[in-house]
Every structure is written in structure tokens, then in C-alpha cells.
Amino acid sequence: MAKTIIVSNRLPISLRHRNGRFEFKPSAGGLATGLGSIYKSGENIWIGWPGNTVEDPEQRAEIILELHDLKMAPVFLSKEDVEQFYEGFSNETLWPAFHYFTQYMVYNPEHWEAYVRVNQKFCDAILKKADPDDTIWVHDYQLLLLPQMLREVLPDATIAFFQHIPFPSYEIIRMIPWRKQLLEGVCGADLIGFHTYDDMRHFLSAVGRITGLSSESGYIQAENRIINVDSFPMGIDYDKFAKQAKSKKTQNIVREFRNQILDQKLILTIDRLDYSKGIPQRLHAFNQLLAEHKELHGKVSMIMIVVPSRDKVQSYKELKEEIDLLVGRINSDYSTLNWVPVHYFYRSFPFEELSAFYNLADIALVTPLRDGMNLVCKEYVASRTNQNGVLILSEMAGASKELQDAILVNPNDQQGVVDAIYQALTMKPAEQKDRITSLQSTVKKYDIFQWVKVFMDRIEHVKEKQAELTSKDVDTKVINEIDKAFKKAERPILFLDYDGTLTGFVANPQDAKPDAELKAIIKGLSQKAEVVLISGRDKDTLGTWFKGFQIDMIAEHGVWVKRKSNRAEWELYADVDDSWKEDIRNVMEYYVLRTPGAFIEEKHHSLVWHYRKVESGLGDLRMRELFSHLKYMARGHNLQVLEGNMVLEIKRPDINKGRAATALMKGQEFDFILAIGDDWTDEDTFKAMPKNAYTIRVGYAYTQANYNIKSFRQVRNLLGKLIQ
């Protein structure tokens, strides 16, 4: 039976050195809890780094055995791996880039090499455990290359990826020299998840611009499959926090603390040591609050927990010093014998004590400058079982998209943060209750178990969608069937679209000339069958490229036809009334003037507005504007506006490839019909074909055709086989 493999840089345990031996401490982290039901069942497993360097082979063997019982398998990292892959590329290049701290980014090719090497190490470890049809769920920015590495060896595996940190705008991603490899790496997955819609749209835009893969409604069209990109805001184990808040143990700790701080109001902040968390900025705001509101002295204090993290990375070391200094300054400026403004702890706390802090705090001040999600704010909400307390939350945390009833602040607006703290300190119990109750219902509903379920269901959905599209793939069996039918036929006919079907796409349409291979194929076919080139191209280009070929040509989607006899001239196939063109051309020209790079192509029956040379993004925007403008005008003229690949075309609806193909076959009997095309204009051809025809759409889009085929290369192979 297929199994599920969870992969993350860190395993949900921590490995500690004690008395010359290693000890494991299982992590109670949200992700570990949420995924517990998955990796602990059946043959499933979690693969990752145990979080310490272990060189001794005997110790390694021991660790492997012990982890095996916990349903985990380790990937051992050497000291160099830790320095270059973990501290280096992951936390000195990707982390600052993805959190918009470009000033901390390091561009070190050795770090990049280590990143590739360690991703490969993870891949090898997985391959030792994985079967071809397993589901592999990869987590986070340390492993961006892994999905594609896995895909190359396990083409049919189900691979999903979730990123826990933000995905920044293309403008940031483009700064990374290895951006293309990184994006292509992630695109090895079938499903790619982010915490928020903004992360996902940034990702889609970067993929479009950097890899050239296009997408629609969250589906990327890769060469041989679709990839779904979606937003899955992660939750916490709500009941665990709510239950712990009421437990005897936690309540005892709360009472003890309360006895010491009496009726002081408490502001709680909890973060890993990280510049993305905005800790110094928060201290500055607290300092300003104390300067502005003398009446609060002795009545309010801050409990600041900073959990040590990545302290070998230079920017983290400096941050630690800055925080130490600031806390020292505030306390030395304001402390009295019985009041300390900032209680600062540089360590982590056990769950019961953490819960006690959440319980005690009148206010949680969560003001990261950037955060993928931020779970601390959700844990605070879940712990407020007395329905009071105020959450102040940064707009820059993913969680702010869901927690709209918090007091939302811009962490860069120091005065705004000061005002928010004051508002929280003076908030009436009734308002506190309203806000916290509403926050609780959100956090409770979208908890970590719901998150895992929704993500896993989505994986299944994507696989079904992929299967639907590839079920019609032209495989060897189909090729043989077509070949046999073709060779048996006495009067075969072939309708072949040109761009995207017989050749690939190029930036300049005039460069898509037929090469020697294609000419040979068409020539060969024309000796055995009626060959009809059926294209949207203008007649002069087609006529020049295929001069002297014994084939029929339909140009401009069916406006012109040229039969194969040598003396034949281009004939108008449709009577064309072009009186509408002037009005429409004027409008299109206006949009050309406003859009550098855009141009108009005039065909007999249509006008086409091209934007493939326009700055990416702007082209789309203008096209949408022009679309709605033209749609309005089209009604009056009985015209049809169609969106194509980087074009907007307006034309008469009764002229199309299907009509032309039908007219060409009229009164004749063919015992073999094959039609191949790659876009919506070819769908008209497919629809017009009799039932016994073979119809093939290039690419894995939804289609009226009986079959899909991967690319023009496979089309050439198929046609090549017919003339052998």
C-alpha cells in the first residue's frame, strides 16, 4: 500500500548531548502534533535532520534505531552542511530575502553548492524509503529543490510542498542568482501551499516571469502536468491550549506569578530570536509609551520571552546584543525598587509555563516586521478561556489575514503601536469579550487538524485532476492504432495546425519558420494523404513557407484557402465585411499608444492586439481593460472578442477553423481523418470533425479532442511514424 512520507529540515524531536550520550526530546510543536495522525500511522514516516551533528558511526546507528521506533528517519548533516546549508544558504540568503531583509542577504556560491548537495542528501534518504506511488509532503524553504529532485526519480509519486515563511514579490526573488533553479525545484511538486493568498500570488507571478510557465486560477501548466498552488493558513491545536489553560498545574503557576506582580497589567511578547520579529522596534514603542504616560509607571510591565535561535548567524548575534542593550536601558531608566518594566527571558519555557504566561497576560503584543503565519498569537487567543485579554497583531504576520478582530498595527508605525497598547490597556471588558470570542471561533474552526485534512484532501483532488487530463494521453498503443488505420486507409486526410502544433513558440512569430525536419515530414505525408495546414496565420506567410508543397492551406482561421494544385491561387472562403474595422482599430490604437511594446496585426476578418513584448503584468492589465472596452463595442457590430496566447482578437464569430474544415471536406468521403491543434481556435476544428476522426490537442488542457499529446515534438514523432 502506498504510504505517506513527511519531510522537513528539522525532525519533530531535538537531540541533546548529555553525559557523552545523546537524548531525544520529542517536540510538542504545532506541526508535529498536527501531522501526528499521519506519520505515526501504518508504514508512514517523517524524515529530517535531528538537529545536531553526529559523526560517530556507532552513535549514528543507535540514533537510527531509536528514531525508527518513533516513526522517524534521520538525515545527518555534517558540520560543514550546518554552516553552509543551514546557517548559510537557508538562513543568510533565503530567510532574509523571503522576509524582505535584503540588507542581510549573502550571495555565496559555496553556500549554494551546499544547498544543492544537502537537498540531494535528503532526496537520497527519501529514495531509500520511498516506493514509486508514495505521497511525499516536503516542508519549507530549506528544501526548495527537493520536489524536482524526487520527481526525476519517481515520476509518478505524489509530491506536495508547503512553505511556512512568506513568499515575497518577484522584485526580491529576482535578486537571488539561483532563482530559476529554486523555482523549478519547487515546481516538481503537484501541490504547492502557502499560508496566505498574497504569498501564493507572488509565487505564481515569479514562476511566470522566471520560468516562463503560465498559470490560470492557481493551476500552473507544466510541460506534462498541472500543478496546483493554493493558500492553506496553518492553525494550532486549539483544544490543547484551551485545556492546558484550565489545568491545575498551569493555574498554580499563574497564582504564584500573580502574587509577585500583584495588580500590574502585563504585556506579553514571545518570539524566537529573529530580526523578522521586530523585537527592538517593540521595545522602542514600549519605551515611548512609558515616556508619554507617566501614570502607567509601576502599573504596567512587559514579559518578553526570546527563544534562542540561529545564534551563530552574524545578524542574529548582533540582534541579541541590540536587545540586551535596549532592555538594559529601559530598565535602568525606569525601574523602581518594586517595579521592573521589562522582564526579559532569553530561553525557552515548558508548555505549562508558557500556558501560564498566556493566561496571565492582559495583552499579547505580536508585532513582527514579517512573519509567514505566527502561531504565538493564535496560542494566546486559544488560552484566553475567561474571554478577556487583548491581542495586538502586526499586519505583516500571515495570521492578520484571519484575525481581523485583533487590534491590527503597522509595526513600523511606532506611534501607532504606542496608541494600540494604550487602547488595549484601557479597553472595556465587554469589548475585550466581543473581540476575543470572535477570534476564538476562527482559531478553533481552522485548527491544525483541519489544516492537515484540507491539505491532504487537496493533494487527492490535484491527482484526480491530473489523471483526468492524462487519461487521454497519446501513448504507444494509440500511436500504433493511428498508424495502422492510416496505413490501411485509401483516402486519408490530415488537418494540422501550425504554431504550437508543428513547431514550438518563439518570441517573434516570423522566426517560427519550418525547419528541414518539418519540411520532410510534410512532404512525406503529402505523398500519402491529403494534408491541410489549418492556421490562424496570414496567407502570405503560409504561402511563402510552403511554396511548391502538394498540400491545401487554410489561412486566417478560415478566411482564405489555397488548394494543392500548382496553379491554384488563394481564394476567399468567407465573404468578409470589414466595415466594422475602423472603429475598433481606433480603440486598439489608443491602447497601443498607452502600452509600450503593444502592436496591432490586421487580418482580413479580424484585428489582433498583441502584447507579448509588453512589460509583464502591464500587458495583462491593459489587455483586461481593452477586453471590456471591446466587448461593449462588439455587441453593436455582432463581433466576437477572444483572448489568446498574449493576444486579444476581435473577429466575426461565423468565421472559424471548424467551418473551413467542414467546407473543405464537403461532398467527399475520407476513410481516415486526423486533426491536431494546440489552442482554442483548434477546438472549432475538433468539434466539426465526424465521430470516427482522430482528434488530438497538444498540451494537457481541457479539450473537445479525443486525445492529448505532450508537445510538438511528440506530434512530429507521430507524423514521422506515419510516413515510415
Ligand X SMILES: O=P(O)(O)OC[C@H]1O[C@H](O[C@H]2O[C@H](CO)[C@@H](O)[C@H](O)[C@H]2O)[C@H](O)[C@@H](O)[C@@H]1O
Note the residues at the interface with ligand X (CB under 6 A).
Answer: 9-10, 140, 164-165, 234, 309-310, 371-375
Is 497 an annotated catalytic residue?
yes
Residue 499 contact partner, candidates ligand UDP, Mg ion, ligand X, none, CB within 5 to 8 A by sort of partner: Mg ion
Residue 456 contact partner, candidates ligand UDP, ligand X, Mg ion, none, CB within 5 to 8 A by sort of partner: none
- Using CB under 6 A as the binding rule, whether residue 343 contacts ligand UDP is answered as no
Please identify which residue in 129, 272, 563, 585 interacts with ligand UDP, judged by CB under 6 A.
272
What residue type is 59 in one-letter code? Q
- Using CB under 5 A as the binding rule, whether residue 497 contacts Mg ion is answered as yes
Residue 140 contact partner, candidates ligand X, ligand UDP, Mg ion, none, CB within 5 to 8 A by sort of partner: ligand X
Q: Which three cell numbers stand for residue 666?
A: 464537403
Of 47-55, 348-356, 464-472, 585-593: span binding ligand UDP (CB under 6 A): 348-356
Of 231-239, 334-342, 370-378, 496-504: span binding Mg ion (CB under 5 A): 496-504
How far, in Å, are 306, 503, 536, 611 from residue 644 at the CA level? 54, 17, 11, 11
Residue 431 has φ and ψ, to the nearest 5°, of -70, -40
Residue 42 burial (CB count, 10 A): 12
- Using CB under 6 A as the binding rule, whether residue 219 contacts ligand UDP is answered as no
Q: Which of residues 365-394 bind Mg ion (CB under 5 A)?
A: none
Exposed/middle/buried for residue 1 (C-beta within 10 Å: 0-12, 13-18, 19+): exposed
How far, in Å, are 140, 154, 378, 455, 463 from residue 187 at the CA level? 14, 14, 31, 17, 15
- Using CB under 6 A as the binding rule, whether residue 354 contacts ligand UDP is answered as yes
Q: Which is nearer to ligand UDP, 29 or 720 (CB)?
A: 29
Residue 310 contact partner, candidates Mg ion, ligand UDP, ligand X, none, CB within 5 to 8 A by sort of partner: ligand X
Number of residues that bind Mg ion (CB under 5 A): 5
Q: What are the residues facing 553 on neighbouring strands?
A: 533, 562
- Using CB under 6 A as the binding rule, whether residue 13 contacts ligand UDP is answered as no
Q: Which is nearer to Mg ion, 81 or 678 (CB)?
A: 678
Contact call for residues 12 and 29 (beta carbons, < 8 A): yes
Of 194-202, 369-377, 407-415, 435-443: span binding ligand UDP (CB under 6 A): 369-377
From 237, 371, 447, 497, active-site residue: 497
Q: Which is nearer to ligand UDP, 249 or 461 (CB)?
A: 249
Residue 184 contact partner, candidates Mg ion, ligand X, ligand UDP, none, CB within 5 to 8 A by sort of partner: none
Shortest gap between Cβ of 450 and ligand UDP (angstroms)?
A: 17
Q: What single-letter DSSP state applies at residue 615?
A: P
CB neighbour burial string for 317-351, b if at least 16 within 10 angstroms, e if fewer: eebbeebeebbeebeeebeeeeebbbbbeeeeeee
The whole-angstrom separation of Cα 394 and Cα 409 is: 5
Please identify which residue in 78, 348, 423, 541 interacts with ligand UDP, judged by CB under 6 A.
348
Of 209-217, 368-376, 425-433, 448-456: span binding ligand UDP (CB under 6 A): 368-376
CA angle (570, 576, 622) in 5-degree steps: 105
3-state secondary structure 327-375: HHHHHHHHCECCECCEEEECCCCCHHHHHHHHHHCCEEEECCCCECCCC
Q: Which is nearer to Mg ion, 310 or 537 (CB)?
A: 537
DSSP state letters, 122-175 = HHHHHHHH--TT-EEEEESGGGTTHHHHHHHH-TTSEEEEE--S----HHHHTT
What residue type is 602 in one-letter code? E
Name residue, grid cell 486549539. 238
Residue 394 contact partner, candidates ligand UDP, Mg ion, ligand X, none, CB within 5 to 8 A by sort of partner: none
User: Checking DSSP bridges between strand 363-366 and strand 342-345, what pairing results, if any?
Assistant: unpaired
Which residue is at the shortest CB distance from Mg ion?
500
- Using CB under 6 A as the binding rule, whether residue 349 contacts ligand UDP is answered as yes
- Using CB under 5 A as the binding rule, whether residue 684 contacts Mg ion is answered as no
Please identify which residue in 371, 499, 530, 683 interacts with Mg ion, judged by CB under 5 A.
499
Q: Which three cell numbers stand for residue 390?
A: 487583548
- Using CB under 6 A as the binding rule, whether residue 379 contacts ligand UDP is answered as yes
Shortest gap between Cβ of 645 and Mg ion (angstroms)?
A: 8
The whole-angstrom separation of Cα 75 and Cα 722 is: 51
Contact call for residues 48 and 31 (beta carbons, < 8 A): no
Q: Which is nearer to ligand UDP, 150 or 303 (CB)?
A: 303
Shortest gap between Cβ of 305 and ligand UDP (angstroms)?
A: 6
Largest CA distance in the chain: 108
Distance, C-alpha 214 to centroid of its chain: 12
Q: Which three cell numbers stand for residue 166?
A: 512568506
Shortest gap between Cβ of 419 and ligand UDP (angstroms)?
A: 24
Of 284-292, 367-375, 511-519, 553-561: span binding ligand UDP (CB under 6 A): 367-375
Exposed/middle/buried for residue 465 (C-beta within 10 Å: 0-12, 13-18, 19+): middle
- Using CB under 6 A as the binding rule, whether residue 375 contacts ligand UDP is answered as yes
- Using CB under 6 A as the binding rule, whether residue 396 contacts ligand UDP is answered as no
Please identify which residue in 73, 226, 254, 305 interacts with ligand UDP, judged by CB under 6 A.
305
Residue numbers of the site for ligand UDP (CB under 6 A)?
29-30, 270, 272, 305, 307, 348-349, 354, 373-376, 379
Residue numbers of the site for Mg ion (CB under 5 A)?
497, 499-500, 678-679
Q: Which residues carry out catalysis?
A: 497
